[in-house]
A and B are shown apart, each in its own frame.
Chain A
Amino acid sequence: MGRVAFVLIAGIAVGSALGLVLKRNPIHAALFLVVNLGSVAVLYLTLGAQFLAVAQVAVYAGAIMVLFLFAIFVLIPGKEETGPDPRRAYRIMALPVGALLLLLLGFVVAVGTRGGAPAPAAPDGVEAIARLLFTDYLLPFEVTSVLLLAAMVGVLLLARRRTD
């Protein structure tokens, strides 16, 4: 049952990722990415990471994708990919490179996960990650707030209109 569900969700994830790469229209690509992020959130749920699943939907599928859609609406891109590609020969190289990378990663996964002891009882749920975030990872957690503030100020600086 769990395996069938995994294969189903993984199929949705891979299909939407392919749609993201292959679709010409950036809005379609953004919506495919939302589907992909949602399916990965479901996979987080099956791994017992409830907090991350909710954060994935709220932060990625919510905030980040809205930002992407706003950027698409502002820029109205998609016209530059209609003409002939002057660097087509180089871009075709992406397929063997990607296949090789996939082969290597698959090899590592196959070798690295062979055998091994059965997993100990995972400390599932929100409590375990909350305890970690506010004890072991307290300093990075606070530094993250400074990072977000710096990003916000930087974005305001980059995106303002120059009036001088």
Chain B
Amino acid sequence: MVTGTTSASDVLVSTDWVAQHARDAGVRIVEVDVDTTAFGQGHVPGAVGWNWSTELCDTLVRDIIPKAKFEALMSRSGIGNDTTVVLYGDNNNWFAAWAFWQMKIYGHRDVRIMDGGRKKWLSDSRDLETATPSVAPATYHAPAPDMSIRAFLPEVQDALKKGTPLVDVRSPQEFTGEILAPPGLPETCQRGGHIPGAKSIPWGKACNEDGTFKSTAELQQLYGGAGVTPDKAVIAYCRIGERSSHTWFVLKHLLAYPDVKNYDGSWTEWGNLVGAPVEKP
């Protein structure tokens, strides 16, 4: 397998690898964007597109995608339990990481991310296709969800007492409370600031300018230098859980930290809780 810019990994593939293998039997490329119109502008030939706001969540209750809906999504995307799935998307793979995290919750064995995401595919002047590919449905059976990689509110509250490292991956302006959400993004909160004791390590610091992930040595320095080390449990959070799934991916799969959880309730939960402690700046 060709890997990206980090050390050898079984969860990253390069744009070269995708160009060579996108239509291989047993491989499915999936685009997941913040901008749900981007797929229609042109995508990796043969790729299918998922809409994060309707297909990767429970659209009634605030929650991740339910098991039956996940199985149906996999099936209609032509993904079987043994399919190699390569995810990519805009914003340096924000929602590709969100999809990756959920696929791991449902136990998919071979799921990877295209290093650099949509940005690198475009800047490499790669082929684009606008047609939605016709996909033969597959059979998919998911196991019970593995919630060991997901943190719920009580665990985060408990982490405050225990001193479990919390990593706030939002922008510095969100961390300090100067803004409640990035410009143009509607999901917001009643209070600005951060969970007391959280370390501010914005997700984007893990990426190079071209969207690829930084080297293992650089990533170790980034997190280890802030006291976020593999000997401790770590909980990452952001605003709605997608940027923190990006950091979760880095810590869990690129740096192999053994105990990392994504708190997908994130600031839109904490920053709206009555009486929750908030630290500023």
A binds B: no
